[in-house]
């Protein structure tokens, strides 16, 4: 019976690892599109998920210079993906496309932490 659980864990971790690896290619493209593309994408995401918009935008509504850099936008995007399960209550849009986008990327980014951790746990149990 114990052997069955080891195989089940291995299969589950393998499927999850495959998802993470497959997710990585579109994630690089998506982060490049948001970081290097139109600033409107990150503005929308900020308005949906940021706790303090005054940190990123001035009183006229323009994004502050130090937050317009592509590395700053990319870092913020990955931070939103990582924190999404905890900050999803801030979302005001009814868009299912946005919510799906965030969940797919949230699962992918969390997978980079969970797959190695779960693999180590399974190896420790053997």
Inform me whether the pLDDT recorded for 5 exceeds 90.
no
Rounded to whole angstroms, how far apart are CA atoms 72 and 101? 20
Rounded to whole angstroms, how far apart are CA atoms 92 and 108? 23
Angle of the 2-36 helix axis to the 39-49 helix axis, nearest 10: 120
Write the pLDDT tens digit of every residue in 79-92.
999 999 999 999 99
pTM: 0.86
Task: Please state, in angstroms and as integers, the Cα–Cα distance from residue 16 to each residue in 95, 108, 113, 115, following that order.
Answer: 26, 9, 11, 7
- All structural domains of the chain with their residue ranges: 2-125
């Amino acid at each position: 019976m114990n052997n069955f659980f080891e195989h089940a864990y291995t299969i589950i971790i393998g499927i999850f690892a495959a998802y993470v690896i497959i997710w990585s290619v579109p994630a690089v493209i998506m982060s490049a599109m948001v970081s290097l593309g139109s600033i409107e994408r990150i503005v929308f995401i900020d308005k949906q998920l940021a706790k303090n918009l005054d940190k990123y935008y001035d009183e006229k509504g323009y994004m502050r210079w130090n937050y317009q850099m592509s590395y700053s936008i990319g870092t913020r995007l990955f931070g939103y993906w990582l924190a999404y399960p905890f900050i999803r209550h801030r979302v005001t849009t009814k868009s299912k496309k946005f919510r799906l986008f965030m969940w797919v990327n949230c699962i992918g980014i969390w997978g980079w932490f969970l797959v190695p951790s779960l693999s180590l746990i399974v190896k420790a149990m053997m």
